[in-house]
Amino acid sequence: MTNNSSIPLTEVHDGYFFNISKVFVFSLTAIFPFYNHVFQMNRERDKAIPVFPIINQIHKSMKIVYIQYYVCVFIGLTLYLGIKSAILGVVIAAMYFEMFYLQIHCNVCYLLLCLLAIQRFLIYFFPKIEQYVTLSEKVVKWVWVWSAHALVFSKIRFEIWYELSLWFYIITIIFNYVCNIIHSNYHQYSKNELSFITKLNKPQRYIMWQLIIIVALKITYIPTLFEVYEDYWSLLHTWRTVDALSTPLSIQLAYLGCNRRNLQTFLYSLKLKNVFKVVCCPWIQRSQVVDQSLDLSRSRSTGVPVY
């Protein structure tokens, strides 16, 4: 069974999508300066850990996603304001093209999270194989480029048949949930060190924070279940579009709240005296004060930042 080449969008769909887009536009615009600030604060220290190339590639991917996202916002505003011109068809085509690649890049980010989770898992349970599972920045970039190409090909192929497209989306959703849940559960420490850190800082609070973020963002799907769509293809398209909008937000919020150090840095940057520098002068680097009693990453090279 093939789907129509044009995706029918009802007025209900347009209203829901426009309202949810406004929320995500504000949230994404507000959160990125702080995400970038915390990442830059951690950058030099995190270069010593084996998972840094993947974390760094995710950060680069977020920048690409933001460029695509704001291009979509600009095109969307052009259409919403009803600007008539001879290039209206080109504008609409550009909108679909950008949304298509926005979805692709968001799925690639989830693939990188999956690699991050697998790498952490292996390093934690099998520390002797660290040198074999550590990926260079060149390899990670290669994975990013070719996975994007593979997803483009798969998406085009599956879009031809509605049933395959539906199953492809369901598998992607399951994959996304698994990546979000497990990517922060493995740490850099020996069992004794991990026991000490766990008792002192209770990292389960931060893991729970990440799960709350995931669930809260997925709740945005609920209104679509009570609306009337022309067919399931329109509903599927709406969900995938919301995925593309919510994925960058969930990744950034999860990073800011994944451990004690990141959360404290984020909260410190929210102070009135620091907000202007973070938002308007991101190039100004400030040395981060690290609690030496907790910074065990200096004594070991594996894993992730201190909880």
pLDDT of 265 above 70? yes
Q: Which residues neighbour 187 within 8 Å (Cβ) at sequence distance 6 or greater?
A: 120, 124, 194, 197, 203, 303, 304, 307
Average pLDDT over residues 34-53: 86
Burial class (CB within 10 angstroms; exposed 0-12, middle 13-18, buried 19+) of 195: exposed
pLDDT at 140: 85
pLDDT of 197 above 50? no
Mean pLDDT taken over the chain: 69
Region of 302 on the Ramachandran plot (φ > 0 left; ψ -120 to 50 alpha; else beta):
beta
pLDDT in tens, 221-237: 776 666 656 666 666 77
Percent of the chain past pLDDT 70, that is, above it, reads 57
pLDDT in tens, 128-177: 887 888 888 888 888 888 877 777 766 666 655 555 566 666 676 676 66
pLDDT at 34: 92
pLDDT at 295: 46
pLDDT of 269 above 80? yes
Residues 118-143 as b or e (16 or more Cβ within 10 Å = b): ebbebbbeeeeebeebbbeeeebeeb
pLDDT at 83: 61
Q: Which two tokens stand for residue 68?
A: 């695509």
- Fold assignment, 11-280: Rhopdopsin 7-helix transmembrane proteins (1.20.1070)
pLDDT of 306 above 60? no
pLDDT of 268 above 70? yes
Which range among 14-28, 39-53, 74-88, 290-304 shows the weakest confidence by mean pLDDT? 290-304
Whether the full predicted model's pTM is greater than 0.85, yes or no, is no
pLDDT at 54: 84
pLDDT in tens, 92-120: 677 677 777 777 777 787 778 777 777 77
pLDDT range class, residue 262, cuts 50, 70, 90: confident
Count the alpha carbons within 13 Å of 152 in the hemisphere toward its beta carbon.
Answer: 13
302 vs 235: which has the higher pLDDT:
235
Residues 268-291 as b or e (16 or more Cβ within 10 Å = b): bbeeeeeeeebeeeeeeeeeeebe
pLDDT of 299 above 70? no
pLDDT of 84 above 70? no
Percent of the chain past pLDDT 90, that is, above it, reads 2
> Rounded distance, CA 83 to CA 190, Å?
61
pLDDT of 33 above 70? yes
Q: Which stretches within 11-135 are classed as H helix?
A: 11-46, 52-80, 88-125, 130-133
pLDDT at 254: 81
Q: Which of 15-29, 30-44, 89-103 has the highest mean pLDDT?
A: 30-44
pLDDT range class, residue 6, cuts 50, 70, 90: very low
pLDDT at 187: 40
- For 226, which DSSP code? G
